[in-house]
Amino acid sequence: MSRIAQQITMGVIIGNRGFFPSYLVAEAREQAVALFARLGISTVMLDDTQTELGGVETRQDAKVCAELLKAHKDTIQGIVVLLPNFGDEKAIAEAIRLSGLNVPVLVQAQEDNLDKMGLATRRDSFCGKISLCNNLRQYNIPFTLTTQHVCALDGEVFARDLRQFEQVCRVVSAMRNVRVGAIGARPAGFNTVRYSEKLLERMGIAVETLDLSEVFTRIGQLRDDDIRVDEKRRILLDNADASAIPADKMLTMAKLFVVISEWTTANDIDTTAIQCWTSLQENLGINVCSIMSVMSGQLMPSACEVDVMGALSMYALASCNLNPASIADWNNNFGEDRDKCVLFHCGNFAAASLESPKMGTADIIGTTVGKENTCGAVHGRLKAGPLTYFRLSTDDLTGEVKAYVGEAQSVNDPLDTPGCRAVIQVPHLETLLAWICRQGFEHHVAMNHSSSSAVLVEAFTRYLGVNTYLHQ
């Protein structure tokens, strides 16, 4: 079961400064309660019995607010600061620091109305936001800005910003302390997917390994009539049309699925990278692609060829928008069109992203291990629509984790090839490919149906410390 947070909880801090109209704080609290409820976001915020009007203005207010946030530290994934008037920048910054929360922070400031610029109604939040951000930077607290410098708390601009910030919070929460399962050894011919466990550990990301010999032993201990095997077989049958697959191959796939599922559950694994060839084909006579497709559809993404960084890239995408992610090769040019290319893999894409997915054999691998030993590959065309592509990589030469991200379109141009495939259109594709080559990135890329590049740049660059190139 995926551990990606479906429900996000945010701490809400409402700033105040006494010589500005205080009724604005109560008004902001009322509007905030309605907005967060409408968007389905849970909140933790002060009420008017804890501080004056539930705002934060003094050192004492900051301490009360910090204690409230600290009491909910295990559930809060982000903090939203609202400035209905100028606010007290020092008190807000201290509240965040004293809480000890290391989560994304969104800063919103309310806009003034030209007919309400008198002393009884003016806000000056425009100015207060600059002062608050200055203090947050002094306190070394990273923060996110709204699209507009000031905006209405109950308006659509802020609602969109809040929805995007919710995604940022989900990505950051998911990527901190994520656990990757590396099943099997990296195929000898794939130096490209080498990575540094130590650099990942520095980010709080753990890698657990499982040798394929252990997998084979556990499969051998499963009875054909085991209820767990039948359950996994039914899941595989529901994932893609498997009418062309022999019953004995489906049974073996189901047993492999049981072993992988129980190991991931026992070790709190969030995403997996599997040695998909050639040991499985030679020892079990099947491909693992359909199992990977199912897991990706369950928001527990699985990458080919023990590509741990590819699995993490898929997990980031899936956590961002709760859409299944897949992984593919930057594989072929598309004729003479230099802004289009073919993405391809033998057959592991999440079924929900495909037109009419079918289970078959992996014909390319089959040329070396025998086509009959590759049952389990998924075949299908990626659905048309917007895509976000994303790739994380560890760079031992510079001692850093780095990434790139961008947006594309999956298009319906004719393409005659088996496996999981897509024709995608990327603006200035040649520039991107040159950048990938010069930076030493892998040939794999993760993608899903979304428009999430801005969220991933914000999450990884600002909060996760990963230098992320945005291709535009």
Phi and psi torsions of 249, nearest 5°? -70, -40
CA pair distance 191, 275, nearest whole angstrom: 13
pLDDT of residue 201: 97
Residue-level pLDDT at 366 = 94
Domain ranges across the chain: 9-175, 179-471
pLDDT at 119: 66
Low-confidence ranges of the chain (pLDDT < 70): 114, 117-121
pLDDT in tens, 95-114: 999 999 999 999 999 998 86
Per residue in 108-143, pLDDT (tens digit) is 999 988 677 666 668 899 999 999 999 999 999 999
Of 245, 251, 250, whose CA–CA distance to 371 is shortest? 245
One-letter amino acid for residue 140 of the chain: N
Q: Is residue 263 within 8 Å of residue 295, measured between CB atoms?
A: no
Secondary structure of 21-89 in the HEC alphabet? CCHHHHHHHHHHHHHHHHHCCEEEECCCCCCHHHCECCHHHHHHHHHHHHHCCCCEEEEEEEECCCCCH
Query: How far lies 186's CA from each of 213, 291, 306, in Å?
Result: 14, 19, 5
Task: List the structure tokens of 431.
Answer: 């520039």
Count Cβ atoms within 10 A of the Cβ of residue 230 and give its class: 0-12 exposed, 13-18 middle, 19 or more buried: middle
Q: Which tens digit of pLDDT belongs to each residue from 290-313? A: 999 999 999 999 999 999 999 999
The domain made up of 179-471 is a member of CATH 3.30.420.10? no
CATH number of 9-175: 3.40.50.10940
Reported pTM:
0.97
Q: What is the DSSP letter of 462?
A: I
